[in-house]
Structure 1
Amino acid sequence: MATAEQVKALLESHAEGDDERFYAVAMQVAAYEARQGHGRIAQDLRAKIDSALAKGAARDSRPVPVAQPRGDLASLLSASYPKARLSDVILDEKTKGRLKRVVSEQRQHEKLRVHALRPRNRLLLVGPPGSGKTLTASALAGELSLPLFTILLDGLITKFMGETSAKLRLVFESIASTRGVYLFDEFDAIGGKRSSANDVGEIRRVLNSFLQFLEQEDSRSIVVAATNHPELLDPALFRRFDDVLEYTLPTLETAEAVFKAKLALFDTSPVDWDVVLRRAHGLSQAEITLACEDAAKESILRDQEQLTTEVLLSALDERHSARRS
């Protein structure tokens, strides 16, 4: 019989629509039954899982319309179709609640429009690298079944006067015509303070153009700007966004939630979480996630059924070393 943790993981993955995790847990249940000597049950479970996976693959093989940038936009936008959900982003409850509100307003946009109200669709995400800003943009796209368009800064910013603003206009025309989540990552590259000592006339014009385009923007798309350096942004930008969300390095509680979510398929009963969480201090959510993946792979390759404190500490030490180098 499946363990309580496995049943919990099955229910959570089903509720979140995470088919990959659901079938991974189901295969773990089958393996558990086999180890208990219940060969017939394990065989039946594997057969049902294989059948379900085959049906899913057949559905996925059907042609799906994909919005791909063409012409001049091909060098300005990169399109993807994320499967991430807000449940995949480990954040404090306040930030998670504000993101859920964005999704709710987008899903009920017609109800708001009838009352001459505009759903939130301009978000500024600020915080250190690896804190979940890019994943948030992917999760918003996944929640709303929209494409994620990432603005390619190397194609957008040029040294020729007026050309960057012209390309920025093309991007905002796409925002108006093709609904999606549009991510301006490393946003300080175009949103820097106009009074900066290193400022040049062209960058001032680009920022002014962005402010004008954003002010006029009234589409059903979502514009997400993300930066690791909010102190570099021009003050005029902040009031142009519907929400400014601040991301931080994980607290002990958030770090523990990341560990438990990423290692849900493993037996972590031997782990001394107090020691592990102290060692994880100072790492970002992305770095903790990578450490979890490293520890999981190490346990699998060693044919260990349980994840140990030592394996996790070794993986975390590698991430600390990588940060210092």
Structure 2
Amino acid sequence: MTTARHIVALLQSHVAGDEDRFLSVATQLAAHEARQGHGKLAQQLQGLIDTAREKPEAAERRSSGAVPLARPKGELSSLLAARYSDLRLSSMVLPTELHGRLARVLTEQRQQLRLRARGLAPRRKLLLVGPPGSGKTMTAAALAGELKLPLFTVVYDGLIGKLMGETASRLRLIFEAIAAQRGVYFFDEFDAIGAQRAGTNDVGEIRRVLSSFLQFLENDDSASVIVAATNHPELLDKALFRRFDDVITYGMPSPEVTRGIAEAHLATFKLGNLDWSPILEMASGLSQAEIARAADEAAKVAVLADSEAISTEMLVAALRERKAAAL
């Protein structure tokens, strides 16, 4: 976005009374000035933006969630689901390496003006790869919560059209929104549009959609964070991996992560008498999401039994039930 377009967007958001949009455009303007080598001006702009965000009345409006003007309008309303997230990275139980990689993304986003002043770009295009329930969707929400940005989830029912060129046209609308409104944009089940162009079931329209996405992603230089997630990386076109700043892999939980998830979900109960050996054995093969659900089920049993403690039997039984349901 050029400086002239930034100014127009600033005035439009001011007239509309859309404070979040105003601050988002101002942030983009600061980043633009940093890319132009105007580091002092960029820092001055960012300082004013930070001051505006910290005003009590502004914080109250954001915490209330009543920011309807930030929501997609018109055709975009059927393509993007918008919400604000209160989730934080500290709420997730992650392996040390994975936590470190996500923390690095957050650090680069928070210090992006310093990076851009030196001609460097922060990580902002992420591909998350891993089995269902491993925390990919939760990661997108945590990034949005940490950065205090709206989370926009792509709605494939509205995106995938039946007519030739319809899906690519809608993708263009989404990327225009990415440039216009800073946020975390989440493409879940990304293989729906990122499948290999040489696949056996390939059709011309799929090739066109993928080619359009590759072009839009490569040309995007907005301030938004783009997160794509897939359970099937083997289905993705190889050209996609080069377009992302980071490819982050999620796996099944280790015993340490399993215990951490259970303890986090049962933090209000007494856990001192738990025998973790049979619990971890029963949890083997379950995803992070399934373990969390099992812990919640054990908590319900304890509450209904009027017990302040979780027993080994309660948790093993809940895990066994989740394992049977997953078969």
Question: What's the TM-score bracket when you normalise by the shorter of the two chains?
Answer: 0.7 to 0.9
* Greater CA drift, 277-286 or 251-260: 251-260
The CA deviation string for residues 216-267 of structure 1, in whole angstroms up to 9 with x for no partner, is: 0101100000000000000000011000000011011111111121111110
Which residue does 2:102 correspond to in 1?
Answer: 99
The CA deviation string for residues 51-85 of structure 1, in whole angstroms up to 9 with x for no partner, is: xxxxxx99955954651110010010000101111
Shift of 1:88: 1.7
Which residue does 1:117 correspond to in 2?
Answer: 120
- Answer whether contact 2:191 2:233 (CA < 8 A) is retained: yes
With structure 2 as the length reference, what TM-score do the two structures score?
A: 0.80
Q: Secondary structure at the match of 1:239?
A: helix
Distance in 1 between the 2:65 and 2:268 partners?
31
Distance in 2 between the 1:217 and 1:164 partners?
18
Which residue does 2:265 correspond to in 1?
Answer: 262
Say if 1:61 and 1:69 are closer, same or farther in 2 by CA, change over 3 A: closer
Within-5 A mapping of 1:172-187: 172-187=175-190
Shift of 1:271: 1.0
Q: Secondary structure at the match of 2:243?
A: coil
Out of 247, 252, 273, the position equivalent to 1:249 is: 252
Shift of 1:293: 0.6
Which residue does 1:143 correspond to in 2?
Answer: 146
Distance in 2 between the 1:90 and 1:62 partners?
26
The CA deviation string for residues 103-139 of structure 1, in whole angstroms up to 9 with x for no partner, is: 1111111111111111110000000000000000000
Distance in 1 between the 2:114 and 2:148 partners?
19
Please state if 1:165 is matched with 2:168. Answer: yes
Within-5 A mapping of 1:205-216: 205-216=208-219
Segments of 5+ residues of structure 2 without an aligned counterpart are 1-59
Equivalent residue letter for 1:229: H
Please state if 1:230 is matched with 2:237. Answer: no
Which residue does 2:130 correspond to in 1?
Answer: 127
Please state if 1:318 is matched with 2:321. Answer: yes
Distance in 2 between the 1:63 and 1:122 partners?
28
Equivalent residue letter for 1:309: T
Distance in 1 between the 2:267 and 2:124 partners?
33
Number of aligned residue pairs: 269
Which residue does 2:297 correspond to in 1?
Answer: 294
Say if 1:119 and 1:147 are closer, same or farther in 2 by CA, change over 3 A: same
The CA deviation string for residues 159-207 of structure 1, in whole angstroms up to 9 with x for no partner, is: 2100100000000000000000000000000000000010100010000
Please state if 1:274 is matched with 2:267. Answer: no
Which residue does 1:21 correspond to in 2?
Answer: none
Q: Secondary structure at the match of 2:81?
A: strand
